[in-house]
Structure formats: C-alpha cells, structure tokens
Amino acid sequence: MEIRRVGVVGLGTMGAGIAQVSVQAGYETVGREISLELAERGKATIDRYLSRGVEKGRLTQEEKDAAIGRLTLTTELADLNGCDLVIEAVLEELPLKREVFAVLERVTRPEAVLATNTSALSVGEIAEATKRPERVVGMHFFNPAPVLPLVEIVRAPKSSEEAVQAAYDWAESAGKQPVNCNDTPGFIVNRILIPLLNDCVRVLDEAGVTPEDLDKAMTNGAGWPLGPCALVDLIGIDVHVHASEALYAKLGEERMAPPERLVEMQKQGRLGRKTGRGFFEY
C-alpha cells in the first residue's frame, strides 16, 4: 500500500523527532498534541533542528521551508482521518495508549496502518484495544529519531504481513534502517543493551574500576564506539532505570533490575548529560 499522509500522535521528544523524519522525507504530516501550545512547541523544536541543519549545510533553506510547510498541527485525533500511517508517541502508559488506539481505529480508514513507538509495552495489548489489530504494528524509533537510523518494526501476534511490510517500506523510504522482530519484551536492542549496561555498572563496584577506566576498557578492549558510562549518561539515568524496571518486571532476570548505583544517582538528580552531571560532568 502507498503511504502518502502520515499522522504523529504526541510531539514530545520522540514524536517531534518522528514528525521531523516524516516531513524531511517529503510526507504531508499531521502532528497531534493535547494543546495547541504543546503542538507549537513541538513544531518549534523541529524548526530549530532543521535550522541547525541549514547552518551546517546538511540541507538548504528552501528544503527546510518545504519540510516545515508539510507539517500541520491539530489537537483533534479526528483530524488524522486522512492519514495512511499514524505513529503514536504519547506517554508510556498502557491505558493511555489503548485509549488513543481505540479512537484512531474509529477515525482512520480501515486500511490505515496504526503504529506505536512504545519501548516496553506489549504491542499486542495495545492492538487489542482496536477492532482491527491486524493493522497495528510497533515502530520503535531511537532517540534522537532524526539522527539514529534504526527502527524496529514489531509484529504483534495479529499484525498482518501487509501492515508490517508497509511500515517497513515507509521507514526505509524515510531514510531509516528498519529491522523486523517479534513483540517480545525489549524487542531487540533494549533486550540486549539494558542488561549489558547494567552489568557494566555493576562491574564498577565489583572490580573497583572508575567510570573513566571502564569506558577506556570497553572502547579500547572491545571496540565500543562509546564507553558504557558515557552511553548511560547520554541515554539519561532516569530513562535507563525506568527501562530496566520495565524489562525486569516482564522477564525477571536479575541482570535486568537497575543497579543500586544508578538508583542512587537518580535520587540525587544526577541524570547524565541532561542535568550536566552523571558519571561524568558536562
């Protein structure tokens, strides 16, 4: 199926990034927020990133203007009625996402693909809030969405092959690197990365290593492009702790539970780059 018009529900961190990817790829995009003020804020974020792109010579002023011109804003889910693909990026709360999908199913055409950007919820449980779960898939972007190429295309138990393929093809057409996977906790990257980073943090105390030396060890000994402590600082201690708790709750493996050191850092407000202080100072 051909996707011409895209809807993005929520223009927060991820939604704004996804809407940017969409308009830059040439798609008419409707961004829905809960207030016009938040919608304008999301649009301003996109505008700022694109302006920076112009300054750095990654795109021309004309391309930027055209991209921004493809974005329309609304506070009504009903205004997504003409969209062929809708990507939901609201708060990570199952009842809220189910509520959004129940409305999306009513207002969109039967053939529209409805995607969730959930990190840790079950796509199948979200899909079951609709009468056409076969049109529901996961599209898990990574933060920042305009920069990181990967999109995990998640097939829930009832997702149709056609809906999965349409989401995959759209992601590819938008310049992303999609991969397919099942609807299992953490999908691919988080399932691997979360316990791995938790192991790294535990090694700090177990082996008496400084964060500087741990990063030195993993970049020089394992060829990691970024050390684990620098990576957790970039992700955000709070985001990582939350993701660890979610994965641990689902799979129950001890390695998935957030290490005490990270929980302590979170309590102290040392959240990484965003607060200027995590394992390192910024």
Ligand X SMILES: NC(=O)c1ccc[n+]([C@@H]2O[C@H](COP(=O)([O-])OP(=O)(O)OC[C@H]3O[C@@H](n4cnc5c(N)ncnc54)[C@H](O)[C@@H]3O)[C@@H](O)[C@H]2O)c1
- Give the residues lining the site for ligand X (CB under 6 A): 10-15, 33-34, 38, 89-92, 96, 117-119, 141-143, 239
Q: What is the DSSP letter of 156?
A: P
Please report how close the Cβ of residue 139 comes to ligand X at its closest, in angstroms: 10
Residue whose CB is less far from ligand X, 91 or 222? 91
190: annotated active-site residue? yes
Nearer to ligand X among residue 119 and residue 204 (C-beta)? 119
Residue 110 and residue 90 in contact, taking contact as beta carbons nearer than 8 Å:
no
Our answer to whether residue 240 is catalytic in this structure is no
- Check 22, 117, 119, 198 and give the catalytic one: 119
Say if CB 228 and CB 197 are below 8 A apart: yes
The 8 Å CB, 24+ separation contacts for 137-144 are 137/113, 137/163, 137/164, 137/167, 138/183, 138/187, 139/87, 139/115, 139/167, 139/171, 140/187, 141/14, 141/17, 141/18, 141/21, 141/117, 141/176, 142/189, 143/13, 143/14, 143/17, 143/235, 144/13, 144/17
Comparing CB distances to ligand X, the nearer of 72 and 203 is 72
From the candidates 33, 88, 105, 152, which is the catalytic residue?
152
Residue with tokens 């199952």: 94
Catalytic residue among 22, 159, 190, 198: 190
Which one, 117 or 159, has the nearer CB to ligand X?
A: 117
- Cβ 245 to ligand X shortest distance, Å: 13
Q: How far is the CB of 235 from ligand X (least distance, A)?
A: 7
- The DSSP result for 230-245, as a single string, is HHHHHH-HHHHHHHHH
List active site positions.
119, 140, 152, 190
